[in-house]
Chain A
Amino acid sequence: MSSFLLLCQKDLRYLIRARGVALSTFGFALLLTLVSSFAFRQVGYSQQEMAEITPGILWLIFLFSGVIALGNGFSYEVENSAIRGPIFSGTDPSVFFLSKFVSNFLFLASLQLFVLLAHGVLFGIEYFGVFGELLLLALLGGMSFVALGTLFSAIAASLPGKDILLPLMLFPLSIPPVAGSVFLMRQVLLEQSYQWTDFWFLLLLGSCAISTVLSWALFAYVVRE
Chain B
Amino acid sequence: MKVEEIVSIDFLTKSRTTRRVLPLLSILGIFLSLYCIFTVVPNERVMGAAQRIFYFHVGSIMGAYLMIAVLFFSSLAYLGSRKDEWDALAAGAASIALLFCTVGLATGMIWGHSAWNVWWRWEPRLVSFFVLWLILFSYSMLRGFSSGNASQKNYAAVLGIISAVNVPIVIYSIKLLDHTQQLHPEVVEKQGLKDPSYWYTFALTNVSLLLFALWLLSLATTALLLSRQTEELAAGE
Contact = CB atoms under 8 A, between A and B. Distances in A.
Interface of A: 148, 151-152, 155, 158-161, 165, 168-169, 171-173, 175-176, 199, 202-203, 206-207, 210-211, 214-215, 218, 221-222, 225
Nearest to A175: B131
The 7 nearest A-B residue pairs measured at CB: A172-B134, A172-B135, A168-B138, A218-B158, A225-B151, A169-B138, A155-B155
A158 B176 CA distance: 40
Interface in B30-63: none
B153 to A, nearest CB: 10
Nearest to B124: A179
A222 B154 contact: yes
Nearest to B162: A214
Contact of A222 (B150, B158, B173): B158
A148 B163 CA distance: 11
Contact of B165 (A155, A203, A210, A221): A210
10 contacts: A151-B162, A155-B155, A165-B145, A169-B141, A173-B163, A173-B166, A199-B178, A203-B169, A210-B165, A225-B150
Contact of B159 (A155, A175, A199, A211): A155
Given A151-B158, A203-B169, 17 more contacts: A148-B162, A155-B155, A155-B159, A161-B145, A168-B138, A172-B134, A172-B135, A199-B178, A206-B169, A207-B166, A214-B161, A214-B165, A218-B158, A218-B162, A221-B79, A222-B151, A225-B150
B197 interface: no
B158 A221 contact: yes
Contacts of B109: none
Interface string B77-112: 001000000000000000000000000000000000
Contact of B138 (A158, A172, A207, A222): A172
Given A176-B169, A199-B178, A222-B155, A159 B162 contact: no
A218 B173 CA distance: 24
A211 B145 CA distance: 23
A218 B161 contact: yes
A78 B159 CA distance: 20
B145 A159 contact: yes
Interface in B123-152: 131, 134-135, 137-138, 141-142, 145-146, 149-151
A172 B145 CA distance: 18
A161 B146 CA distance: 9
Contacts of B163: 173
B134 A155 contact: no
A102 B150 CA distance: 28
A198 B146 CA distance: 40
Contacts of B79: 221
Contact of A155 (B142, B166, B169): B142
Interface centre among B149, B157, B162, B163 (most CB of A within 10 A): B162
Contacts of A203: 169, 173
Interface centre among B134, B145, B159 (most CB of A within 10 A): B145
A181 to B, nearest CB: 15
B131 A165 contact: no
B162 A173 contact: yes
B25 interface: no
Contacts of B135: 172-173
B15 to A, nearest CB: 31
A172 B140 CA distance: 13
